[in-house]
Amino acid sequence: MDGEIACACLLLAAQADGSVIETAATAPENVRAAFIRHGAIQCGFCTPGMVVAASDLLRRVPSPSEDDVREGLSGNLCRCTGYQKIVAAVRDAGDGL
């Protein structure tokens, strides 16, 4: 929200009134494409949060290490992938923002 990561589950819609909101659908194409290319989407439950968090991380750290990615996505939980494909997707999308 307004260029900062925000937990949607902790915000009332009224708090976002007038804000610029980035979603998985409005995240940079290279991030979305990397998630698809690497198969970093299984059940899809965590995917929107992962994509938005990855976009935020890549704006701050254009060429993240594996540790950078794991820390940058640490607020999101995935029960399906084991994170390997997600980490690979984010690192692949790096330098593309």
Rounded CA-CA distance 94/59 in Å is 9
Measured between alpha carbons, how far is 31 from 53 in angstroms, rounded to an integer? 10
| Residue 9 is assigned to a structural domain of this protein | no
Measure the N-to-C terminal CA separation of the chain; round to a whole number of Å: 18
| Domain membership of residue 75 as a residue range | 23-93
4 is written with which tokens?
């900062």
Within-domain flag for 1: no
pLDDT under 50 in the chain at which residues? none
| pLDDT recorded at residue 95 | 79
CB–CB of 93/30 below 8 Å?
yes
| Backbone Cα Rg of the chain | 13
Q: How many structural domains comprise the chain?
A: 1
Structure pTM? 0.89
Report pLDDT for 96.
Answer: 59
Query: What does the angle CA 63 – CA 58 – CA 56 come to, to the nearest 5 degrees?
Result: 160
Is 7 inside a domain boundary? Answer: no
> What pLDDT, on a 0 to 100 scale, did the predictor assign at position 80?
85
